Amino acid sequence: MKNDPLTPYGNTPMVTPIVSAVNYQYTSFEVLRQITDGEIDGYTYHRDDNPTVRTVERKIAMLEEAEDCVICTTGMAAATMTFLTFLKQGDHLITFHDIYGANYKVSLILEKFGVEITWLDAWNYRAVQDNIKENTKMIFCETPSNPLIKVIDIKYLREQADRVHAMLVVDNTFATPYHQKPLQSGADLVIHSATKALGGHNDLMAGAIPCSKKDYYDKLWFTRQAIGTTLDAFSASLLERGLKTFKIRVQKMSENALEIARFLEKHPKVKDVYYPGLETDRGHPVALKQMKNGFGGMLAFDVGDTQEDAKQFVENLKSIIHAVSLGCTETLVCLPVLTTMLYMPLERRTSFGVHLNTVRLSAGIENTYELLADLKQALDKI
């Protein structure tokens, strides 16, 4: 997408300028009226809108083939804004155990405000059919999911949501728009932790909500403006820079993840490998249908028999880094039960397939053979 010309001669900066202003001088009362009546695009106060942020919103909307996109401070802000905007007391939300752990905390807040929630196992997503109710207003899922990379058929969820005119919201952080475009499969909204592959360098936090309709954009914009989750212009600029290499990074991540999954699958110290690119993975048939250009950079696997085995493996790694987060240039590993799912009661953390020795891996863009060699030497030591 071309940047807007900003200089008197119409030549265009290659990078969108970082507008750090909080407020803007009005040129006249008439211009103020036109801005507040929505007749012209204009800026008044950062909490409302910012030109650097707006440019990046348009770029992410293009990637997801969305009507428009709202950017905010974090992926969790994006999810929470979505719940606050579209759910009210007495509404029923269907979601899955297999979503990012902090959503569990948000669910406790939603319950306080009278939202009823049903939790299902993403491997058994067809149970949605028996759990839809008259008051079901939203189905919220991640596919592939965190942390076991389970795959959900988005078109199937659309059909179910249509029975009661519910919204379908898909967190596309793991797949990224390079591999999957949920709006094209029937989702109403997409959620991104843009902190992850869209940004890609562990140096910014942001959330994004690509929307299928302008009306959704307007409603989410209202919530953001009201509660003040507008992203700062500097982070938006870093995100714009990340987007320039987005496709090439996620392509390499996905190639690395597939090679790693194939290697781990054959290793005697590894039990289950969860990766939808493996022909043996239970999510493979649906992933083949709704993903393209590969299957993403995320995988999980069980190491040895105990949590001690998994810990030893992680500590033996030399170049692969033990850290949370994902979708960045470096390959990262973590134990979900001790990190991203820590907020949940232990029995809940392990009731839907995650084990104490499950390791989640986010493939980076390093040389594949170096990654395989590191994994091999660490596994050989346990």
Ligand X SMILES: Cc1ncc(COP(=O)(O)O)c(C=O)c1O
* Candidate list 71, 76, 187, 243; residue touching ligand X; CB under 6 A: 76
* Candidate list 68, 91, 142, 302; residue touching ligand X; CB under 6 A: 142
Check 49, 59, 100, 178 and give the catalytic one.
100
Q: How far is the CB of 149 from ligand X (least distance, A)?
A: 11
Report in angstroms the alpha-carbon separations of 209 from 69, 255, 314, 366: 5, 27, 34, 29
* Candidate list 83, 100, 104, 217; residue touching ligand X; CB under 6 A: 100
Q: Rule CB under 6 A: is residue 74 a binding residue for ligand X?
A: yes
Q: Applying CB under 6 A, which part among 71-79, 155-163, 261-269, 300-308 lies near ligand X?
A: 71-79
Three-state SS string over 70-84 comes to EEECCHHHHHHHHHH
Show contacts with ligand X in window 183-222 (CB under 6 A).
193, 195, 205, 207
| Helices and strands per DSSP (H, E), number in the chain | 14, 12
What's the rounded Cα separation, in Å, for the pair 147 and 359? 9
Q: Rule CB under 6 A: is residue 173 a binding residue for ligand X?
A: yes
Check 150, 196, 249, 311 and give the catalytic one.
196
Q: Applying CB under 6 A, which part among 9-17, 166-174, 223-231, 248-256 lies near ligand X?
A: 166-174
Q: Rule CB under 6 A: is residue 160 a binding residue for ligand X?
A: no
Residue nearest to ligand X (CB): 75
| Cβ(60)–Cβ(69) below 8 Å | yes
| Cβ(317)–Cβ(376) below 8 Å | no
Q: Where are the alpha helices (DSSP H) in the chain?
A: 29-36, 51-64, 75-86, 102-112, 128-131, 154-163, 176-179, 214-227, 233-244, 246-265, 284-290, 307-316, 346-349, 368-380
| 43 tagged catalytic | no
Q: How far is the CB of 331 from ligand X (least distance, A)?
A: 16
| 45 tagged catalytic | no
Please report, as ranges, the residues that interact with ligand X according to CB under 6 A: 74-76, 100, 142, 146, 171, 173-174, 193, 195, 205, 207
